[in-house]
Structure 1
Amino acid sequence: MNRAEKAAIQLQAVAVLRMLKQSRTYDELASLTGLPAGDLNRYVNGHVLPGVERAREVVGGVGHDELARELHARIRVDSEGYVDNSGVVFDQSFLDLVAPIAADTFEFETPDVVLTAATDGITLAAAMASYFGARLAYAKKSKETAVEEFIEARQRLQSGIELTYYLPASAIDANDMVLVVDDLIRSGETQELLLDIAASANADVGGVFALIAVGEEGVSRARELTDAPVGALTQLEP
């Protein structure tokens, strides 16, 4: 690990601790993390950075669990099972915390492109792309007027509706490593379409990630379609 990578993980740990501190005292934060309250005070207030190993523990352990709880607390599900995650997908600072923790938890291959579907997945994809230093690409249900060549993926849904996504062909190159992300995975139909786009571009898939999994169906379906890691930050009952 070079100096820049060490600094990045240390700063990520500080960002996680500052998020956790918003709703906790230092004693409560110490109980949660197992770290001394005095050290936490110095980290949160920017007086000193945690060591690399301690930073890894915060990002990979405490960070994942507490971000999942925070995410779950922001989700609203109505009586018909529709998920309102606007309290998350509109909070870019929260999504910026999710990216390194997702990368550390699921050990995705470092992507050249982060691919999502318009529109709710775009803010998460932007955070993931920024973290990895990758390009951002998003497929849409309509063609851009000025673009001449597209990659298309089409599927007939269980409801009988045919869904088609279009991505400008220049967005992904052959042999690019692609990370597929979305805000929510339920049936896995959208993820299958995105994986089809990656396959049509002769790209490799480094992982599939969603903020929220509703039930097991979508995650299981994605795992059948790729050998890459598949995961979600939190899961809801269908």
Structure 2
Amino acid sequence: MLEDYRSSFSEAYEHVFTTMREKLQLHPTGRPTKSTGSIIEKLHRESIRLTQIQDIAGCRVVGTDVAEQDRVVRSLGSCFPEASIVDRRPNPSHGYRAVHVIVPVSGRRIEIQVRSTLQHLWAEFSERLADELGSELKYGGGDELFRRALTNISTTVADFEGIEAMARDFSRHEIPDDQTLRSKVQSFIQSAATLREQVFKLLNDAIRAVDDAAREVKKR
């Protein structure tokens, strides 16, 4: 029964995936359906019915920054007017931040995750840790030290993306003729770009560190 239900999402998924590529010129990565084990685990964890799960099938789009993320969400909303949008950025789920666009097609719901690059790197880091320390880490369980680390890094990413948005707003406005003010504004914009590189490196280094540790454990 569960396998039949999973299979019933294929046509709806292909419609959404193909539309995103051909009509919107997006480059989604896909996961046609959750594994049977993942579905059963979610049913137990959240005490919901099978038909209430919104991410049986879905795909993901990663934009450079929040501005591009918002543009993608708007284009998806225009292309799929019946879609519902769940913005998890203001109130993240255990540090997870993204925008989910839920598209109903022929009685099936296809979830599109839209993330910024930094949100995606955080999610990848969370997945790597959960693979090594237990999936409960993603849902508020597991080791407290690592839970706090994930939350703190997510907050850092959110704070930076707010700074980046401010810098972007400054760059779009005409800078006053006052030379001192002009210099400070340009310095702020450059500092935001430098900070992005640092946050990006932090997350990539963290992912590599977890991967390296996992390989060392497997060698023992």
Q: TM-score, normalised by structure 1?
A: 0.26
Q: Which protein has the bigger strand share? A: 1
Q: Which protein has the bigger helix share? A: 2
**Greater radius of gyration (CA):** 2
